Amino acid sequence: MLKNLRRASQTVFLLIFLYLFLQTESKGANDLGYPVKVFLDADPLLWLTTLLATRSPERILSPALIVIFATILLGRVFCGWVCPLGALNDLAGRLGRPRRKPFGWYALKYFILMFLVAASVFTLQAAGFLDPLSLTIRSLALAIYPAFSHAVSALFDMLFAARIPLLTGGSEAVYGLLKKTLLPFRTPQFHQALSLGAVFLGILGLNLVERRFWCRYLCPLGALLGLLSRRALLRRSVSEGCDGCGVCAASCPGGARPETKEGWMIGECIACMNCDDLCPQGAVRFGFSTKKSAALDLGRRRVVASLAAGAMAVPLVRITPLAKAGAADPALIRPPGALPEADFLERCVKCGECMKVCLTGGLQPALLEGGVEGLWTPILVPRIGYCEYRCTLCGQVCPTGAIAKLGLEEKAKVKIGLAMIDPGRCLPYAHGTPCIVCEEVCPTPKKAIWLEETMVSAHDGKTVAVKRPHIDLDLCIGCGICEAQCPVLGRPAIAVTSLGETRSKDNRLLLR
């Protein structure tokens, strides 16, 4: 009964997670309602590392405290009953026959946790790379969900192309239903989708080697919850009726050594209670107790080495040539509302939610534009998609405040960059060909692009009137629609750079 109850709990929370994930998308209004960030808000690891990295008093109170309190009282119930990645790992583990003897690398996840915590103390926010909730949302948003959308669209395109009346009529109805429920309004495309998807599928594939491999040996959130559960009141007891049959060891997804009465490790127990359900002698019980259990010996030297490695990683990451000073890289165009670059990197957990909700798909995961610590953080790539003038969704879904939540009036005053014209490629400048697309699409109430009418000589000697565009430095907000809509193929004749962004006092074209 307990096993079935746990599976029901996992199913419910996974369905809630996926439902909120699907709802994290524009539905036509500039308001999302309930984005999946509620799971990130309740993540103790992201809460702790962000609090340490930013020293922000407003982060002290958080829904994550509920999970922390529940863990102190009941143990790692979040891992076994709530975590969506844990549920997916359990499902993947059913596909194969993993080895019976565990590797026993339990200490590894604790060393990873100490590395991340020490780095956050010195303002390096690296937890988002390995946090299970951030990793799951990022992988789904930037790789798995787009691949699913492309696959479904390709399947129905094939059915439509077959022109079989029975198939066409039925497929149209099914496709219409999918568009209203599961499929996105716009099929997304993201840089690095292949690598992000491969990492996620690799994590699930490790279950074929050993069940819950990620949870046992690599998950830093599991390590944090394991430390918090060391004195948990919900504990396992074994009566004298135990005959050492080993059924509990074979059924333990956490590898908590339940086959030994004194060696059971509460920090590795995910409260699945399989051993209680499956014990043929009925010798295993869970109840509230203060009796001590076995503790994992991490070794003082290895703990110190992990903490020191986390501290040393900070200067090593930031002294590389790839670590830009401020936001000096022209391609480093952050979403509107993004904090100054140093503060932004201290808070951003690379969850990918802002990229998922971007109406045009312009927000893409960074590679090295923001340095090593900026990997997978959001940057605007205007040639792919511009920043919609009346959209503030990215600030609504950010779980840590790396992107501030702006009102429409506030956003209209925020500059994320500056458009620059290349006269050598612009049609009116270089070829005497009339074109005013950039001015037409400019969304600011008073156009940030103004036109100068002039007479130029064509190649046949005739004089032609053209309107040459110019940028108003005070009005341009760097939204990128002019670059996205520029008819010049390849490298556009007008492009946005991070120059002039509101969040930086130094990254400006004119120091005034």
What is the phi/psi pair of residue 57, to 5°?
-60, -30
Q: How far apart are CA 236 and CA 276, in angstroms?
A: 9
Query: CA angle, corner 246, sides to 240 and 251, nearest 5?
Result: 115
Maximum pairwise Cα distance, the chain: 105
Asked if 226 contacts 215 with a C-beta cutoff of 8 angstroms, the reply is no
Three-state SS letters, 428-446: HHHHCCCCCHHHHHCCCCC
Ordered DSSP codes for 409-425: HHHHT----EEEE-TTT
Closest CA to 130 of 218, 210, 205: 218
Neighbours of 22 (CB within 10 A): 15
- CA dist 348 and 341 (Å) reads 10
Residue with tokens 């907000």: 477
CATH 3.30.70 placement within the chain: 341-412, 418-497
Per-residue pLDDT of the chain (512 residues; tens, 9 = 90+): 777 888 899 999 999 999 999 999 887 778 887 789 999 999 999 999 999 999 987 778 889 999 999 999 999 999 999 999 999 999 998 887 766 677 889 999 999 999 999 999 999 999 999 999 999 999 999 999 999 999 998 888 888 877 776 666 778 888 888 888 888 888 889 999 999 999 999 999 999 998 899 999 999 999 999 999 988 888 888 888 887 787 888 888 888 888 777 778 888 889 888 887 778 888 888 888 877 776 778 889 999 999 999 999 999 998 866 545 444 688 899 999 999 999 999 999 999 999 999 999 999 999 988 889 999 999 999 999 999 999 999 999 999 999 999 999 999 999 999 999 999 999 999 988 899 999 999 999 999 999 999 988 877 778 888 999 999 999 999 999 999 999 999 999 999 999 989 998 888 877 65
Architecture of domain 341-412: 2-Layer Sandwich (3.30)
3-state secondary structure (DSSP) of residue 508: coil
**CA 111 – CA 298 distance, rounded (Å):** 8
* 468 strand-pairing partners: 452
pTM reported for the whole predicted model:
0.92
As assigned by CATH, the class of the 418-497 domain is alpha beta
DSSP sequence for 35-99: -THHHHHT-HHHHHHHHHHH--GGGSS-THHHHHHHHHHHSSHIIIII-HHHHHHHHHHTTS---
> Tokens at residue 110, please?
């604790």
* CA distances from residue 107 to 74, 115, 257, 434, 503 in whole angstroms, order as listed: 22, 13, 14, 67, 42
Per-residue DSSP letters for 304-357?
A: HHHHHHHHHHHHHHHTSTTS-STT-STT--PPTTBPPHHHHHHH-----HHHHH
